[in-house]
Structure 1
Amino acid sequence: MTTIGYHASHEQLPPRDLLSAVRFAESVGFDAAMCSDHLAPWTPAQGESGFAWTWLGAALASTHFPIGVVTAPGQRYHPVILAQAIATVEQMFPGRFWAALGSGEAINEHVTGTGWPEKAEREQRLRECVDAMRRLLVGEKVTLDSLIVVDEARVWSRPESPPPLFGAAVSARTAGWVAEWADGLITVGSDPDATGAALSAFRDAGGTGDAALQIHVSLADTDEEALQVARAQWAHSSAPAERVWDIAQPEEFAALADPTDDKLREAVVVEASADAMAERIAAAAEGFDAVYIHHVGVDQGPFLRRCEEQLLPALRRLL
């Protein structure tokens, strides 16, 4: 059975409101949740960005389902600190937590003032971080002197067994690469060809473990209203794809956005019909073990009520 999860977007809601939303999501029938880990929102219009690790403790303590996070070791987070955070969360909530590791985006990482590396270096850095974190999570003392510097570090408070460390990938190429080291895959998108290509690349490269899909949606009473919600909150998705990882400020995303109807519909599943939305989600999530749904609007209440009454029942018939 496919896990149907709720995505909690720190870029869009204050932490207190996001906590209420994830609790509501569990009550209406979602199986699990995940959250982003941003220092900055994508655009000034989103206007929020709470600290994911503080929020995760509160969210797991006030729910019963699993919750994961997509995060980036290596620059904003030293891998020793991130390993300690992961160990603490899993020790408190065993079997209910996972972390997906990616190479990050400049909008969150540039603040260290150490420069933003090219992708090849970011991937090498990520691999070094993953290897170091796995050793730390099983109690080893770690010293490294490479792209990452670690001096005789040890994580003392640890869970009985480490949680899964998934690989975060957008492209099929990256999905194939993370298969070398990850316990599973998480990717994002709504185009079945693209999501299927990422999943195939991961499996073809020997990737094992669960594969999860995050999908952005906008569900409203009318198609035009749903489109306007996407335009107001998810306009950054129309910025040039080749620039996304290197943009440092929310204002730059806003300036580069070109939120035409067609571009918004490429990035966001825009629908007035819950049944039509369920069909599109199911098509994109074919073959995946889990799908995490992100409603891009800031008013989560009406969306979650429609999930309980319409979207979740429709999805469970299809997945």
Structure 2
Amino acid sequence: MLKIGYHASHEQFSPRDLLQYAQNAEKIGFQLITSSDHFHPWSETDSHSGFAWSWLGAALQAIKLEFGIITSPAPRYHPAIVAQAVATLNQMFDNRLWIAVGSGQAMNENIKGEFWPDKQTRNERLQESVNIMRRLWDGYEVTHYGHINVVGARLYTLPSASPNVFGAALSEKTAGWLASWSDGLITINHPDEKLEKLTTTYRSGNPNGELTIKVQLSYAKDLKTAEILAWENWRNNILGGDSQAMLSHPKLFDEAARFVRVEDMRDHVLLVDRPEVLISALKKYKAMGFTRITLHNVNRDQVGFLELMGSDVLPSFKQV
């Protein structure tokens, strides 16, 4: 069954505002809330960086929907601590939280001052972390030595069920790799041809895995304004997977994004000026097999976006 979600971007808005937006999203008919998890934002300009795990405790209490968090379980955290956090929240809130895991970005993880490894090493560390978390959720005492070390760890408060772990992929290669160990895939709105290849590759390795997509969009009354607002608020986020993983501070993203043109946003952000654009996109991604579609309006007008969704998009979609 399809669930349409609202994305809470901690890099852009204060935790207080995000809680209000998420509560409004529930009221108007969204069925899912997803949360980012950053230490640093993408830019030094007009940004925030609240602690997502504190926010989740408040949000799960205030809102009765399913939640997902997009995170990296190491090295900024230790996977045993992430496993404990997820177990506690799911024990309290009826297993309504799932996690989507990625190999991390230097902008968040480098605060520990450790060597930032290559992609292969980060992937190996990620898979180790997921294995550790799953064993802890199953009630085992875990000792493990590798990229991650754990000695005698055991959770005494367990989740009501083992949480779903989705793998985050921006490339076909990564999608194929994580198909063997994840419960599902989460990605973003790539061009259709790339997205078809990415999901086909994942499904070939995990036919039963669920597909989730975070649609990055910019809503305004006209397309030109939507494009400019996307550029003003989200251009630092379209630099490419390698750059986004390796740049270590918001000021470096600001510097690199000086060369991003306004028109470059069209390939990365869905520009929306009327409800039919979103209705068409929702239908398209549903037809591709995505069972969770979470919408991230990347500009500042969250109120206007939520009004559009509540008045025109969500009611219309229920009828198709």
For the superposition of Structure 1 and Structure 2, which TM-score range results when normalised by the shorter chain?
A: over 0.9
CA-to-partner distance for each residue in 1:136-193, whole Å, 9 max, x for gaps? Answer: 1111111111111111111111122221111111111111111111111111124222
Aligned residues of 1:190 and 1:216 also touching (Cα < 8 A): no
Q: Could you tell me the TM-score, scaled by structure 1's length?
A: 0.95
Q: 1:10 aligns to what SS in structure 2?
A: coil
1:155 alignment partner in structure 2: 155
Letter in 2 for 1:101: V
After TM superposition, the score normalised by the length of structure 2 is 0.95
1:114-263 alignment runs, 5 A limit: 114-257=114-257, 258-263=259-264
Q: Deviations over 1:227-258 (max 9, x none)?
A: 12111110113424431210111111111113
Partners of 2:95 and 2:161 within 8 A in 1: no
Pick which of 86-95 and 278-287 moved more. Answer: 278-287
Q: Distance in 2 between matches of 1:33 and 1:193?
A: 27
Q: C-alpha displacement at 1:281, in angstroms?
A: 4.2
Change beyond 3 A, Cα 1:188–1:240: closer
Gap change, CA 1:207 and 1:100, over 3 Å in 2: farther
In structure 2, the gaps of 5 or more residues are none
Could you tell me the percent identity over the aligned residues? 38
How far off is 1:209 after superposition? 3.1
Aligned CA RMSD, in angstroms, stands at 1.5
1:201-239 Cα deviation digits (max 9, x unpaired): 111012533210001011111112211211111011342
Question: Runs in 1 of length 4+ with deviation above 3 angstroms?
Answer: 313-318
The letter of the residue matching 1:235 is: R
Q: Which 5+ residue runs of structure 1 have no aligned equivalent?
A: none
* AA aligned opposite 1:205: G
In the aligned structure 2, how far is the partner of 1:78 from the partner of 1:101?
Answer: 13
Query: By how many angstroms is 1:67 displaced?
Result: 0.7
Number of the residue aligned with 1:270: 271
1:182 is paired with a residue whose SS is: coil
- 8 A contact 1:190–1:281 mirrored in 2: no
What is the alpha-carbon distance in structure 2 between the residues aligned to residue 107 and residue 284 of structure 1?
Answer: 30
- AA of the residue aligned to 1:135: R
Deviation at 1:317, TM superposition (A): 4.8
Distance 2:241 2:143 in 1: 37
How many residues are aligned here? Answer: 318
- 1:110/1:157 CA distance change after superposition, 3 Å: same
Query: 2: distance between equivalents of 1:269 and 1:17?
Result: 24
Deviation at 1:30, TM superposition (A): 0.5
Amino acid at match of 2:90: E
The residue aligned with 2:73 is: 73
Q: How far has the Cα of 1:284 moved from its partner?
A: 4.2
Are positions 1:24 and 2:24 aligned together?
A: yes
AA partner of residue 307 (structure 1): M
| Aligned residue identity for 2:74 | G
Deviations 1:38-91 (A, max 9, x none): 001111124101101010011110011101101101200101111101101111
Amino acid in the other structure paired with 1:270: L
Which secondary structure state, in structure 1, belongs to the residue aligned with residue 290 of structure 2?
coil
* Aligned partner (choices 286, 290, 293) of residue 291 of structure 1: 293
In 2, the alpha carbon distance for the partners of 1:12 and 1:172 equals 29
Question: For residue 281 of structure 2, what is the aligned residue in structure 1?
Answer: 280
